[in-house]
Structure formats: C-alpha cells, structure tokens
Copies of this chain bind each other. A is one copy, B any other.
Amino acid sequence: MRRGLKLISIGLADEYDLSLRAVEEARSCDRLYVELYTTKLSTSKERLEAILGRSLREAYRRDLEGERPRILEEASQSLIGLLIGGDCLTATTHISLLLEARRRGLPTWVIHGSSILTAIAETGLSLYKFGKVVTLPLPERGPPDTVLEALEGNLSLGLHTLILLDLDAERGRWLSIGEGIRLLLNADRPDIFNDETPLIGVARLGWRNPLIRGGRASELLNIDFGEPPQALIVPGRLHFVEEEGLRLLANLPGEALKGWRPRSETELLVERYMKSCRRVIEKLESSPLREEAQRILDYASRYLSDAEYYANEGRWPTALAAVSYCEGLLDALRLLGLAEFEW
C-alpha cells in the first residue's frame, strides 16, 4: 500500500520557486495539501494547481497540529503531499509534524526549497556571520523580550541578527518594519537597541519587487516597505566587503555605521572598571602610604596591567576577573583606613 507524507517546499515567493523535484514529487502523491498560514507567499492555491496540474486542498492549523493531526490519519492510508512556503522545515509546526509521522512509523520525505534564511545574503552580509534567528511577535502575542535577548547575545559575539516580523496570515495582520522598530524602541533597552542602531530592512526577498534598505533605526522608521513579508537585520561586526555590500546592495550610507561597534556586556564592564581602577591607582601612587599598603597597591597595579593585557587580547572574562580583583584589593585598603580615595 502506498502511504506516507511528503513535505514539499514551495520556496520563497510563488509557484515558480518550486523545484523540478518538488513538482515531480507532488504529482506522484495520491492527495495534495497546501499550507498557507505560516508564511506569506505571492501565489494562491489556484496558481499552484495550474502549475502542478493537480487539485489542492488547503490545510489549516487543526489539520497539522495537536496530538492527532488529521493529515497523518490520511497519510497512514495513502501517499499525502503537503506543500509548504519557504524551505519546509523552518517552522516548528512542520518539524513536529515530521516527528509525529516518524513516531507512527510512517514513511516521510523532505523536498527542500529556497528560504528567507539564505536569501538575506542579497543584503551583502555573509551568511556565515549570522547568529540566532528570532521572530518579533505581534504586540498582542507578547513582548519583544526574546528579540532583545537574542540581539544582546549575538552582538556580544559580533554576529548579525535576522529578526523575522510576525504575521497572522489567518487574520491578515502583519508587522511592518516601521512597527517592528517602534516596538523595539518602546522596549526601552537603549543599551541594546536605540535610535542610532544601524539596520537593514528587507521586504519581499526573492519576489518580483524586493526592497532592501539600510539606515539608522530612526531613518528606517518612516520608510514604507510595502507589502509583507518583511524582516529586519541588525548587523554585527562587519568585514569591509560586507560594509561595501551594504552600501551597494542595501543603500546603507557609510555614515550610518559610524561609531557602530557591537560589544558584549563583559567588554563594557571591563572598560568601565579599568578606567576607575587606573584613576585610583594614579592618585594613590602620588600619596604617602604605609609600607604594607604600598605593597597591596603594587599588587593591585600588576593586576590592572594583567587586565589591560587580556583586554587587548580580547580575552574579556579573564580581563574582568583581573580588574574586579584589583578593585577588591584597592577597596580593602580604603575600608581598612590605609588609603583614602573615592571611586
């Protein structure tokens, strides 16, 4: 008996993004479904039907999700194909469906297609330097906390962050780039995201009418990117080829990158502490101290030098440990009345 589930990627935009393999595999199925609620495509059930020469049924959340997805009941009796926008295992929903099929011992096939996750290379940014990908939820679905957390982590490693903008295809609701930026600004974490943050907005990548535009957050805020799907990218540390790429491909003015140097929380702490320790040590070096206090001061000064050395090497955690230890030594002098200074 022919049975099982074929997950078939449609690709980025429309029916012309189907691969020859996807067309062939779809035609070989007993019954075909198309899922149109997790992404926004530039096609329709009818246009896909015309290309495949086969009739399609639309699959809804209730057919694919939950403990006993209806589509798997059918797949245990016949060969079912499910067409999915983008590359088909990008959304958790479809991985879960694949796993449930495997649990039931059903044969499965995965046919890949083009995806926003690699199409973003059109911005000029290297795909090898992206960190965690994250979705900015519609405000009614929750706060932007996970975005800020992912952004902080990626920036601390100098990596780029792709921020997908949530959409509720069933209700025709979607976040625009401008709304997304506003939500992030309103989160009030200027240390991670503020008016000056350089961004690249991308709309309809792989479609007939894509738009890629870079600028500071405050500049992109008021640009109309048109129809969805849209997404935002926060660049991390940039190679000069990437900088030129952004200029040529995303119209990002070089000025928008001025002063942009993603740094980790550890790095910022190290710089702040090194500055205050250096100031205190310089002050104490010119004051008369008792012999045992002088010894501690010399010791503290050596640890500050170590911290500076490790900071130069980019070994931030070790630098932070050294400079904080130096601070403890100096503060002990102050608390014991062996030296006078203020932080």
Contacts and interface: CB of A to CB of B under 8 A. Distances in A.
Contacts of A16: 19-21, 24
A122 B124 CA distance: 27
A321 B273 CA distance: 9
Would you call the interface of chain A mostly helix, strand, loop, or mixed?
helix
- Specify which of A92, A102, A119, A128 lies most central, judged by the most chain B CB atoms within 10 Å of its CB: A128
Given A248-B103, A328-B331, A124 B112 contact: no
Contact of A324 (B154, B249, B300, B324): B324
A206 interface: yes
Interface string A300-343: 10010000000000000110111111111111110111100000
B335 A328 contact: no
A157 interface: yes
A133 interface: yes
B132 A118 contact: no
Interface string A80-124: 000000010110100110110011000000101111011101101
In the assembly, how many copies of this chain are there?
2
Interface string A1-41: 00000000101100111111101100000000000000000
Most chain-B CB neighbours within 10 Å: which of A95, A134, A241, A300? Answer: A95
A265 interface: yes
Interface in A55-94: 87, 89-90, 92
Contacts of A248: 99, 102-103
A127 interface: yes
A168 to B, nearest CB: 19
Interface stretch (A175-183, A196-204, A215-223, A291-299): A291-299
Nearest to A321: B324
Interface in A259-284: 264-266, 269, 273
A126 interface: yes
A233 to B, nearest CB: 14
A259 to B, nearest CB: 22
A51 interface: yes
B121 A317 contact: no
